Chain A
C-alpha cells in the first residue's frame, strides 16, 4: 500500500517568508510525528499527534513553528518568518499504535527546506 508522503519534496524560500510543509500518513495510522534533520545530523523530535491532538509539542524550537492535524490524517507544519537556521530536512513519520507499547514508525521522504 501507499507509504507516508510529504510535499513539497524541496522548498527554497527567502528569509522572513512563511512556509507550509505537508504530511500524508499511512491510512489508518493514528499517530503522526514530525522531525527535523540538519545536514549530517541526527533526528530532532519536533511534535507528535495522537489523532488530531498534540500531547507533546516540546520539540518545537520556537513560537515560529506550529503544526496541526485535521481529520486524523493530513498534518501541516508551518514555519513563520523563516530564518537561515531553519534550513534542514523535515521528516514526517506515522505509526498505527496497535500495541499498548510502541510500534514501528514509518518515515516519509522528507521536505528539504532551504532558507536563503
Chain B
C-alpha cells in the first residue's frame, strides 16, 4: 500500500551544525517528493521539493537528495539556526501524482 516512513521522529542539534532527516516510500512509481515545515500553531509550508528526474536539489542552506533505486530521499539543513526549529514532514505523490502521503514528521530542535 501507500506508505512513507520518516526518521528520526525527534532530532536535536547544536546551532551551526547540520541536520539530516530521511524518508522511504513504497511506490516505485512516485515521482514527486516535497518537504514541508510546520512551526508551532502554524500551517505546513513547502520549503523544497524534488521530482524523480533529478537526484539532488539545493536552495541556500537546504538540500534534498533522492535515491530512486532505494526509494528513499533525505532533507539536509546546513548551518542550522534557531528559526529552523519546527516539525518537518516529507511526502511522496501516489496515484499518478494526485495524492500526497506524508511521513509522520520530525521535530527538529536547534540548541543555541
* Interfacial residues, chain A to chain B (CB-CB below 8 A): 31, 33, 35, 41-43, 45, 48, 50, 55-56, 91, 99-102, 104-110
Contact = CB atoms under 8 A, between A and B. Distances in A.
A12 to B, nearest CB: 17
A43 B89 contact: yes
B20 interface: no
Interface of B: 31-32, 34, 36, 42-46, 49, 51, 89, 93, 95, 97-105
Given A42-B102, A45-B99, A55-B98, A102 B93 contact: yes
Contacts, number: 57
B89 A102 contact: no
Nearest to B31: A101
Given A42-B105, A101-B51, A104-B34, A50 B43 contact: no
B89 A50 contact: no
A54 to B, nearest CB: 11
A109 B100 CA distance: 18
A101 B32 contact: yes
Given A42-B105, A104-B34, A104-B49, A91 B98 contact: no
A104 B103 CA distance: 16
Contacts of A110: 43
Nearest to A100: B97
Given A101-B32, A107-B44, A109-B43, A56 B99 contact: yes
A103 B93 CA distance: 9
B93 A101 contact: yes
A108 B34 CA distance: 17
